[in-house]
Amino acid sequence: MRILWHSNSPWAKTGYGNQTAMFWHRLQALGYPVVLSSNYGLQGSTLNIEAEGQQTQVYPTGLTMAGNDIILSHARHAKADIIITLYDAWVFDPQVMSHARWCPWLPVDHDPAPPPVVRALKAAYQAIAYSRFGQDRLKMAGIDAAYVPHGVDTRVMRPIDRNEARKKIQFPPAVADYDFLAVMVAANKGTPSRKSFPQVLRAWKAFVEDGHPKALLYLHTHAGEQFQGVNLEELLEQLEISKQNILFADPYWNILGYPDEYMANLYSAADVLLSPSMGEGFGLPILEAQACVCPVIVGDWTSMPELTFAGWKCRGEPFYTPQASWQFIPYHADILRYINEAYEARGDRALRVTAAKGALAYDADKVTRKYWKPLLAELAAEIDVEVAKPTETEGLSMVTL
């Protein structure tokens, strides 16, 4: 069984790019040839790449963001038997995807599963949810989805001595004298802020002013409106939060992408990760942080509770979105309460060990063996039967024609 994997390029410093790089060669090592199709990160030509002793080809993006104009052509050229898309399912045209064995590995970040997602999945050969929450909500909508979680490379995202990690991240001297480090690794995209930047910063202001002048919040994101997000610099001015208590990622390196080793040091150096998003399909920084012994503050909804091994879960107010479903705005009072609890628990070895142990279940090699291997074997067996006994669907121009 040959696979066309359609997502961000494996070198892209995005969550989708991260998981593409994590799994394409692992799936190929199971015996399933994988060719990559890029919807972000490559234009104009194909590119050959290698990882962990495996080689493959990356096809470029087409003229549309999702790739509806080119994905079937890539699949035919690659002689793919199935197409795995790692992206939002609702962006794909069901009339296009119904002509392939489409296996979307998809997020569900609303409750219930949004109608546009459910409608798109009517064309799926096999939907694959990457959270138990998503699998459950799709089942409620009549979609029988498999479950394969995202993974983390625990050889890289691993516990590092906190003092050593703090030396390696090399914060500027002007903010280096801190006694509590919170980090927020989140894309500043769209308004209202799905990552809850305004609520977090309101809580941070109250925390700093309540006797914590040496607390530092590191924001691993863009400060401006480059991606139609919140103008965070302006928000900080309105809230009158001192620049001594806030540090942004270097904008240049934030575009190029920080090395994974840097991120492992950052998480290990931190006392807590702030990630109370309005909704998450998975929440990769939540997993990565805990793999590096950093507890987390999250929202008590969508996928986040199942990924919280050591940390705190905020309550929130339901918010109806253009997806015709619900996300949640976290109560800033809850965020403040849990920042205070994280401050009291800083350096708590038992809490940090619990975080790392929980993350080990999501090691990429374990995810490959436990989830991808049996699922792909099942799909391959089904396709063998279809090929041996052609059905009425044979005339629908499946990608193997």
Q: What is the pLDDT of residues 320-357, one digit of tens each?
A: 999 999 999 999 999 999 999 999 999 899 999 999 99
Q: Using an 8 Å Cβ cutoff, are 309 and 354 in contact?
A: yes
For the cut 50, the answer to whether the pLDDT of residue 201 exceeds it is: yes
Separation of alpha carbons 55 and 38, rounded Å: 16
The band of 222, judged by pLDDT with boundaries at 50, 70 and 90, is: very high
- The per-residue pLDDT for 347 is 87
* The one-letter amino acid at 175: V
DSSP three-state, residue 86: strand
Q: Using an 8 Å Cβ cutoff, are 157 and 267 in contact?
A: yes
For the cut 90, the answer to whether the pLDDT of residue 396 exceeds it is: no
- Mean pLDDT across the stretch 199-218? 98
At residue 124, φ and ψ (nearest 5 deg) are: -80, 140
- The per-residue pLDDT for 389 is 73
Tell me how crowded residue 73 is: count the other CB atoms within 10 A of its CB.
Answer: 14
Give the mean pLDDT of the chain.
95
Q: Using an 8 Å Cβ cutoff, are 157 and 238 in contact?
A: no
Cα angle 209, 246, 298 (rounded to 5 degrees) comes to 80
CB neighbour list of residue 360: distance below 8 Å, 6 or more residues apart: 154, 291, 366
- Paired residues of 182 in beta bridges: 217, 272
Q: Using an 8 Å Cβ cutoff, are 240 and 212 in contact?
A: no
The band of 252, judged by pLDDT with boundaries at 50, 70 and 90, is: very high
CA distances, 358 to each of 184, 237, 291, 307, 371 (Å): 20, 38, 8, 8, 17
- The per-residue pLDDT for 401 is 37
Instruction: Tell me the percentage of the chain whose pLDDT exceeds 70.
Output: 97
- Mean pLDDT across the stretch 212-234? 93
Helix (H) or strand (E) run with residue 320 in it: strand 316-320
For the cut 90, the answer to whether the pLDDT of residue 293 exceeds it is: yes
For the cut 70, the answer to whether the pLDDT of residue 390 exceeds it is: no
Cα angle 30, 36, 39 (rounded to 5 degrees) comes to 145
Helix residue ranges per DSSP H, 30-181: 71-78, 94-97, 115-121, 132-140, 162-169
For the cut 90, the answer to whether the pLDDT of residue 174 exceeds it is: no
- In sign, the C-alpha dihedral spanning 98, 45, 380, 283 is negative
Cα angle 290, 293, 295 (rounded to 5 degrees) comes to 60
- Mean pLDDT across the stretch 276-286? 98
- Mean pLDDT across the stretch 358-386? 97
For the cut 90, the answer to whether the pLDDT of residue 184 exceeds it is: yes
- In sign, the C-alpha dihedral spanning 372, 374, 377, 383 is negative
- Mean pLDDT across the stretch 293-317? 98
Tell me how crowded residue 174 is: count the other CB atoms within 10 A of its CB.
Answer: 9
> Virtual CA dihedral for 27, 377, 281, 159, nearest 10 degrees?
-50
For the cut 50, the answer to whether the pLDDT of residue 392 exceeds it is: no
- The per-residue pLDDT for 155 is 96
Of 98-112, 121-135, 161-175, 256-270, where does mean pLDDT reach its minimum? 161-175
DSSP three-state, residue 147: strand
- In sign, the C-alpha dihedral spanning 170, 176, 182, 185 is negative
- Mean pLDDT across the stretch 235-246? 95
Q: Give DSSP secondary structure letters for 259-316.
A: -HHHHHHHHHH-SEEEE--S--SS-HHHHHHHHTT--EEEESSTTGGGG-SSEEEE-E
Helix (H) or strand (E) run with residue 216 in it: strand 215-220
Q: What is the pLDDT of residues 117-171, one digit of tens each?
A: 999 999 999 999 999 999 999 999 999 999 999 999 999 999 999 999 999 998 9
The band of 17, judged by pLDDT with boundaries at 50, 70 and 90, is: very high
- The per-residue pLDDT for 395 is 35
